[in-house]
Each structure stands twice: as structure tokens, then as C-alpha cells.
Amino acid sequence: MQQEELLIKLEQAGIVGRGGAAFPAHLKWKRIKDLSNPKKYVVCNASEGEIGVQKDFYILQNFSEEVFKGMMLAMDFLETKEGYFYINRNYYEQLKSKIDPLVELFKQKSYIINVFIEEPSYIGGETGALLNAIEGKKVQPRFESPSPSVLGIFGCPVLLHNVETLYDVARVATDKFEKTRFSTILGGNKNGVYRVNADEKVAEVLRKTNNYPDFDFFVQVGGGASGEIFTKEQAETATIGGCGSIEIYPSTTTDYDFLSKIFNFYEKESCGKCTPCRDGSWQLKKLLDGLDKKSEIPWLEIKPIIKVMEKGSFCGLGKSIVPPVRSYAKNILGIEV
Ligand code: SF4
């Protein structure tokens, strides 16, 4: 296939980043292709650090050949022969029997795919932190500019894609792409990863996968850490965003249960580089320490901390605490935070 033809196919199919950002793939590809750098890299991000999300693991378990094919197509497009397969240690240990032979197979075709095994963490999947890790630097975010497409690793541009995006690329190239995406469903009768229509409404996904609850519930959509909260009525019109997960919570879930899950996670995963996130996440966790399920939640204290994290955090991790907390407060409790 001609390179220009693949680019048009990616655009027509509407292929976007499936790590959460949903940036159009064809724009990224073209931007890097147009750069004159003699060396460029393709990097596959298989970090998947969001709470409860398992779709990249599922894809690698079932369709690893397609993911590597997607990497190869991207390398051909950029006329490069080297890439990185960045994967968290837990996944690698379970999937190495699939990954290592593919690396070897591609080596025989003169493609060098370096497997980089990271210690599992939320920040490890953040773009700048991931690139720093590959360069052997501290696993912390970078300034957003210059973008990895310009200055990624070792002074060279990087085309960075999530596992699912590269899988989609391979499907598009073979005319098998059907405008579907993968969704991790948790808290239902049949937890697992499902292939669903990309623009399907959340409630419809639950019905079609036999996961629609027979109890009152709310859902978190787009990641167990950063996803937004919707009531069951809102789930009728909400579409699946972010990394495509849906987590069902019974409406008996207490404020304490929900918030302590979120606050504990962010306090543990903050990389410590900036004060708003490092101290903010610590303070949020402290506010709940010593409370129990029936305690009054100190929203007046929570609100300003959330605002500081939203405005002042250096990277997306610190800011991403805002959507779940704010949407929970608004949609479930009817208060503004
Ligand atoms: S927002 Fe959090 S994770 Fe991001 S740089 Fe600051 S401390 Fe690190």
C-alpha cells in the first residue's frame, strides 16, 4: 500500500489515540513525516496504569500480531527501522511468550523493536515520563513543549501510540476496521473487555454485554482514576470516553468509599515533582484518614485543594483528579466543587 493511501485511510476511518487523548492519528503521522530528522522512532505505550482498565492487556493477549503490524506500518511510513515497545512489568511477565517471538520475527525483517519494561505506575504511562524512562532519566513528566513529535527520545522525533491505536492502524490497513473500540467493564455481571461500537451510549453498552444492573447504580466512564461519574439516567446519553472503560457502582456506595478510592490512588501515584499535586493529593488523603463510611465529607476543605490541583499541577495526572471528584459531587450529590 502506498504511504499516502494509508494516511487517507487513517483519516477517513477517524483513527484517534486510544490512550485517552483522542488526537487524530493521521495528523500526528503527517507532522512527523514532514520533519527532516534522519532518525525517528515509533513507540508503543503498553503501560495501562488506570485503575481497572485492562483493554490493552486484552488486545495484546489476543491480537499482539496486529499491534506489531501497526508498529511496522508506522515505521515504514516514517522510513525508520527502530522502535520501542514500552510495557509494564506485570503485563510483560504474562505476555512475554507472545511478545518475544514477535520481536524476533520483526528482527528477521530488519525492524529493531526494543522492549522496554517499566515498573507499573500511573505516571509511567504519561508521555514525558515514558520518554524520560526510555532515555534512562527520572520517570517524571516533561514540559509539554517541544512535543515528542519534535523532540522525543535521544534528540529524535517520536511517534507515540497506545496499543489499541496501533491495533486500529493494522485493521485499517487491511480494510477490517469497523469503527469499534474496546471497553473494559467492571462491577457488572460479566466483567471483562468487550469490542463495542465506538459511538455507543454507555447504558446501551451495558445492555448489549448483559451487564446492565438490576439495582440502582452510577457509572464511572473513561478510567477508574480519572473518569467522569454519570447517573444511570445520564448513562443513557453519555458516550464512552477516555480509555473506554465503564465501572458500575451500586448507589449504596458511600461518599467515603468513592472518594477514598480516588484520593488514595492519587496520593500513591503522584510522582512528587510539583507541589500542587504532591501536597494536594497528600492533603486530600489526610482529610479522609480517620473518617469512616458514615462520616460527613469535608467538602469545604476539599474544594480549594481540588482547584489548586486543577490550575497548578505540572502534568495531566494531577489535573485528572478533578473530573471524577467534581462530577461525583455534581451528578450524585448535587453540589458544585
Ligand atoms: S502533577 Fe503530579 S504526577 Fe504530574 S508532575 Fe506534578 S506531582 Fe508529578
Tens of pLDDT, residues 118-144: 999 999 999 999 999 999 999 999 998
Atom number of ligand 1 nearest to Cα 318:
1
Residue 22 is predicted with a pLDDT of 77
Q: How many A from CA of 127 to the centre of ligand 1? A: 12
HEC readout, the chain: CCHHHHHHHHHHHCCECCCCCCCEHHHHHHHHHCCCCCCCEEEEEECCCCCCCCHHHHHHHHHHHHHHHHHHHHHHHHCCCEEEEEEEHHHHHHHHHHHHHHHHHHHHCCCEEEEEEECCCCHHHCHHHHHHHHCCCCCCCCCCCCCCCCCCECCECEEEEEHHHHHHHHHHHCCCCCCEEEEEEECCCCCEEEEEECCCEHHHHHHHCCCCCCCCEEEEECCCCCCEEEECCHHHCCECCCCCCEEEEECCCCHHHHHHHHHHHHHHHCCCCCHHHHHHHHHHHHHHCCCCCCCCCCHHHHHHHHHHHHHHCCCHHHHCCHHHHHHHHHHHHCCCC
- Pocket probe for ligand 1: among 123, 144, 306, the residue whose CB has the most ligand atoms within 8 Å is 123
Residue 290 is predicted with a pLDDT of 84
Residue 3 is predicted with a pLDDT of 81
Q: How many A from CA of 144 to the centre of ligand 1? A: 13
Residue 146: pLDDT over 70: yes
Residues with CB under 6 A from ligand 1: 123, 140-141, 270-274, 277-278, 313-315, 317-318
Residue 180 is predicted with a pLDDT of 93
Residue 73 is predicted with a pLDDT of 97
Kindly report, residue by residue over 200-228, the tens digit of the pLDDT.
999 999 999 999 999 999 999 999 999 99
Q: How many A from CA of 243 to the centre of ligand 1? A: 20
- Residue given cell 503501560 in the structure block: 47
**Which CATH superfamily hosts domain 3-173?**
NADH-ubiquinone oxidoreductase 51kDa subunit (3.40.50.11540)
Task: Report the Cα 322 to chain-centroid distance in Å.
Answer: 16
Q: How many A from CA of 272 to the centre of ligand 1? A: 6
Residue 175: pLDDT over 70: yes
Q: How many A from CA of 25 to the centre of ligand 1? A: 26
Residue 317 is predicted with a pLDDT of 95
Q: What is the mean pLDDT of residues 299-324?
A: 97
What is the rounded distance in angstroms from the CA atom of residue 282 to the CA atom of residue 318?
12
What is the chain's mean pLDDT, rounded? Answer: 95
- Pocket probe for ligand 1: among 126, 277, 309, 320, the residue whose CB has the most ligand atoms within 8 Å is 277
Residue 35: pLDDT over 70: yes
Residue 142 is predicted with a pLDDT of 95
Q: What is the mean pLDDT of residues 94-111?
A: 97
Kindly report, residue by residue over 222-278, the tens digit of the pLDDT.
999 999 999 999 999 999 988 889 999 999 999 999 999 999 999 999 999 999 999
Residue 243 is predicted with a pLDDT of 87
> What is the value of pTM for the model shown?
0.95
Q: What is the mean pLDDT of residues 53-79?
A: 97
Residue 19 is predicted with a pLDDT of 67
Domain definitions of the chain by residue range? 3-173, 180-250, 257-333
Residue 13 is predicted with a pLDDT of 94
Q: What is the mean pLDDT of residues 163-180?
A: 95
Q: Which CATH architecture has domain 180-250?
A: Roll (3.10)
Given a contact cutoff of 8 angstroms between Cβ atoms, the answer to whether 227 and 263 are in contact is no
Q: What is the mean pLDDT of residues 63-68?
A: 98
- Choose the CATH number for 257-333 among 3.40.50, 1.10.10, 3.90.70, 1.20.1440: 1.20.1440
Q: How many A from CA of 280 to the centre of ligand 1? A: 10
Residue 20 is predicted with a pLDDT of 65
In angstroms, the Cα distances linking 322 to 160, 187, 228, 303 are 26, 22, 9, 10
Which cell is 225 given?
482514576
Which comes out higher in pLDDT, residue 18 or 51?
Answer: 51
